[in-house]
Amino acid sequence: MQTIEELHPVTIMIYFLAVTGIAMFCNYPYLLLCSLIGAMIYFIIQNHLKHVKYHFFSLILFLILTGINPLVSHNGVTVLFVLNDNPVTLEALLYGANASVMILAVLYWLRSFSQIMTSEKILCIFGTFSPKIALILSMTLRFIPLLNEQSRKVSDTQKTLGYYQSDNLIDAIKEKGRILDIIITWILENGIITAASMEARGFGTGRRTSFSVYHIRKEDIIFILSILILSGTVIAAASMQQLEITFYPYIQMAGHSFMQSAGLLAYTVLVLLPSVLEAEVALKWKYLQSKI
């Protein structure tokens, strides 16, 4: 079996749409927690310990989002304390924590998605339907890292020329404005050069066609069927109101049932699929190395 990165781009797109879509439209706490844990495990497998700051940022974001909700929403019957004549309730706090877990889970999945889906894969997905849209998306994704790199170069050059020496806020704003002016000029010049280059290559003179090195294989079909079965189980459980929770005025959860367990188990397997595939490939590789 291959890792999810080696599957067809359409298969990858279907998977991430399934895991993020279910997490966004189902607010059941256990399901969202499974989504966050699965996303973090896969993110760590992909990056190891390269992005420790991102985990720290996620923790800070979780605390901020959790704390904001009970300050702006005072619904609920369980009052923890009163702040400025406004009650802070347990229900509002738990609702904020639940929503924060959902947001972090989606952010982790999207971060992994952005690392897997290269511009070539996006071009493969949209090239069949609309080659022009695929080209625009591919150019946009390529332009973002170029813009970051150019911003860094301009900033380093400005520091070399002696700027950024003053702690004055007004001078700092002027220096940032100078960098922004340079970057905007560079964007316009780069756009003109790109347009002239594309015109010289004959862009727009005929019907565009698409070419892709990716092909649907047996592994893709098996993976897509697995996604459909697992997602269908979760959707069926949600449609039967087995994965619902209400926080206001007091917390009410659906009673335990077979469909609830089946839905949670199906989603747990779904979010762990990429990590399982990565572990399987790693173990197989180590086994083959031991045979050498």
pLDDT score of 137: 72
For residue 268, tell me if it sits in a domain: yes
| Residue 210 pLDDT | 60
My answer on whether 173 and 188 are in the same domain is yes
Buried b / exposed e over 48-62, threshold 16 CB at 10 Å, is eeeeeeeeeebeeeb
Residue-level pLDDT at 79: 81
Instruction: Quote the mean pLDDT of the chain.
Output: 83
Show the tokens assigned to 191.
Answer: 């756009």
Buried b (16+ CB within 10 A) or exposed e, 150-178: beeebbeebeeeebeeeeeeeeeeebeee
**pLDDT tops 70 at residue 206:** no
pLDDT band at 268 (very low <50, low <70, confident <90, very high): very high
208 found inside a domain: no
Helices (H) and strands (E) in the chain, counts: 9, 4
Q: Whole domain around residue 236: which residue ranges?
A: 4-122+215-290
- 224 and 108 part of one domain: yes
According to DSSP, residue 257 is labeled: -
Clarify whether residues 100 and 182 are in a common domain: no
Pair 165, 283 in one domain = no
**Residue 269 included in any domain:** yes
Domains: count for the chain: 2
195 lies in the same domain as 232: no
* 234 & 285 share domain: yes
In a domain, residue 206? The reply is: no
User: Tell me, what amino acid is at 118?
Assistant: T
Q: What is the DSSP letter of 81?
A: E
Q: Which residues contact 104 (CB under 8 A, 6 or more apart)?
A: 36, 58, 61, 62
Last residue of a domain, one of 200, 223, 257: 200
Specify the pLDDT at position 128: 67
**163 falls in which pLDDT band (50, 70, 90)?**
low
What value does the mean pLDDT take over residues 251-258?
81
Residue 24 pLDDT more than 80?
Answer: yes
169 and 286 both lie in a single domain: no
Instruction: Output the pLDDT for position 102.
Output: 92
Residue 78 lies in a domain: yes
Residue 209 lies in a domain: no
pLDDT band of residue 32 (cuts 50, 70, 90) is: very high
Q: What percentage of residues in the chain have a pLDDT greater than 70? A: 92
* Domain assignment of residue 51, yes or no: yes
**pLDDT at residue 225, rounded to an integer:** 94
Note whether 17 and 92 are same-domain residues.
yes
Among 32-41, 55-64, 177-186, the minimum mean pLDDT is found in 177-186
- Around 117, how many Cα atoms within 13 Å sit in the side-chain half-sphere? 23
| CB 96, CB 67: distance < 8 Å | yes
Above pLDDT 90, what percent of the chain?
18
Residues 9 and 85 in one domain: yes
Q: Same structural domain for residues 23 and 95?
A: yes
Flag whether pLDDT at 44 surpasses 80.
Answer: yes
Average pLDDT over residues 79-93: 81
Q: Are residues 117 and 136 in the same domain?
A: no
Task: Please list the alpha-helical segments (H only) found in 73-211.
Answer: 90-116, 119-127, 131-160, 169-200
Q: If we measure between CA atoms, which residue out of 28, 42, 31, 92 comes closest to residue 66?
A: 92
Q: Give yes or no: residues 86 and 227 share one domain.
A: yes
85 or 212, higher pLDDT: 85
Who wins on pLDDT, 44 or 119? 44
Higher-pLDDT residue of 115 and 214 is 115
